[in-house]
């Protein structure tokens, strides 16, 4: 990439590919940009560019791409751009839809098939020390799916993923909330399943499950879900997590300090999953 006067370029830094320029994705991009060049991708290319402009003001070296993670051609373009930038050190997949998207099939597609496409497209570029962090959710820890469901969720690249999940789940249970939880369970499974392939070249893959985090998307979900408000009441620390607390965990998982952590999930929920097993009086 050629130099642009006034625009910081740091070819000496490794590349972090961050997917998602919403609340949490921007916080993650900002943190990763302290030690990496960043390729920031989002279906909303203008949102990604707006964040990149803010980060560039702080001296960060950021590239952007409009990329719908459910579109194989767009994901191939993402992989091509990462390759053109010399390959990546860290991939952080943050983008996702909330239950508020209100569409069973779309939530499964964006939250599970999309990250699976991105991971499959970037895996061939992974070298020793590279890592992938896929943002899942506390919701993945709230449901125990049947073996049959786990098997279907284990084939996230199937074009008819939503139909296959519905066939096992039953149409009456195919709600947006179910799609959200199952998509995130699928991400935990994906990190476990992919660890061997990433490990072959000395690379790692993990999922990270945020609990209730104060983001604009998270705030909207309170309006849609009485269950979420009830969960907040059970929170051991009596507060939501902040986006910088998620960025802290991502920064650790993407660093060499986490060099023996792969194929697992890190729950960053202030103890809420544990507390839900021990409700307050
Ligand atoms: N906020 C919370 O409390 C919370 C809790 C647990 C997990 N999460 C997860 O964290 C992630 C980010 O949450 P957030 O609050 O920052 O959400 P957000 O809505 O602010 O950001 C999501 C981003 O994803 C992008 N996006 C949507 N569809 C896309 C597609 N097809 N391709 C590429 N980009 C697409 C959107 O344009 C948006 O910029 C999500 O995966 C969410 O499920 C959030």
* CA distance readout (Å), 228 to 121, 154, 222: 34, 27, 6
The response to whether residue 240 sits with its C-beta less than 6 Å from ligand 1 reads no
Q: Is 210 in the pocket of ligand 1 (CB under 6 A)?
A: yes
Asked if the model's pLDDT at residue 50 lies above 90, the reply is yes
Average pLDDT over residues 114-124: 98
**DSSP class of residue 241?**
B
Q: What is the pTM of this model?
A: 0.97
Q: What backbone torsions phi and psi does residue 58 show, to the nearest 5 degrees?
A: -90, 5
Look-up: residue for tokens 């449901």?
143
**6: pLDDT strictly greater than 90:** no
User: What's the average model confidence in pLDDT over 106-112?
Assistant: 98
pLDDT, tens digit (0-9, with 9 covering 90-100), for 56-78: 999 999 999 999 999 999 999 99
pLDDT in tens, 182-205: 999 999 999 999 999 999 999 999
What's the CA-to-centroid distance between 209 and ligand 1, angstroms?
13
Domains and CATH numbers, the chain: 15-212+242-259 (3.40.50.720)
């Amino acid at each position: 990439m050629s130099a642009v006067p006034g625009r910081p370029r740091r070819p000496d830094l490794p590349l972090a590919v961050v997917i998602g320029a919403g609340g949490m994705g921007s916080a993650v991009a900002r943190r990763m940009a302290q030690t990496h060049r960043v390729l920031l991708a989002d279906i909303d290319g203008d949102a990604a560019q707006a964040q990149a402009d803010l980060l560039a003001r702080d001296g960060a070296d950021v590239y952007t791409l409009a990329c719908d993670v459910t579109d194989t051609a767009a994901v191939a373009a993402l992989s091509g751009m990462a390759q053109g930038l010399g390959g990546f050190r860290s991939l952080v997949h943050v983008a996702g839809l909330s239950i508020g998207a209100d569409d069973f099939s779309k939530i499964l597609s964006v939250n599970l098939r999309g990250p699976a496409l991105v991971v499959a497209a970037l895996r061939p570029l992974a070298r020793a020390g590279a890592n992938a962090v896929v943002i899942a959710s506390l919701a993945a820890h709230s449901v125990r799916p049947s073996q049959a469901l786990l098997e279907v969720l284990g084939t996230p690249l199937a074009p008819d993923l939503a139909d296959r999940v519905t066939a096992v789940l039953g149409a009456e249970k195919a709600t947006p909330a179910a799609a959200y939880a199952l998509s995130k369970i699928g991400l935990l499974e994906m990190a476990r399943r992919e660890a061997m392939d990433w490990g072959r070249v000395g690379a790692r893959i993990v999922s990270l499950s945020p609990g209730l985090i104060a983001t604009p998307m998270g705030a909207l979900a309170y309006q849609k879900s009485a269950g979420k408000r009830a969960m907040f009441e059970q929170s051991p620390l009596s507060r939501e997590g902040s986006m910088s607390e998620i960025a802290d965990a991502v920064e650790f998982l993407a660093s060499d300090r986490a060099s023996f952590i792969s194929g697992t999930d890190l729950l960053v929920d202030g103890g809420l999953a544990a507390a839900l097993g021990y409700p307050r009086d």
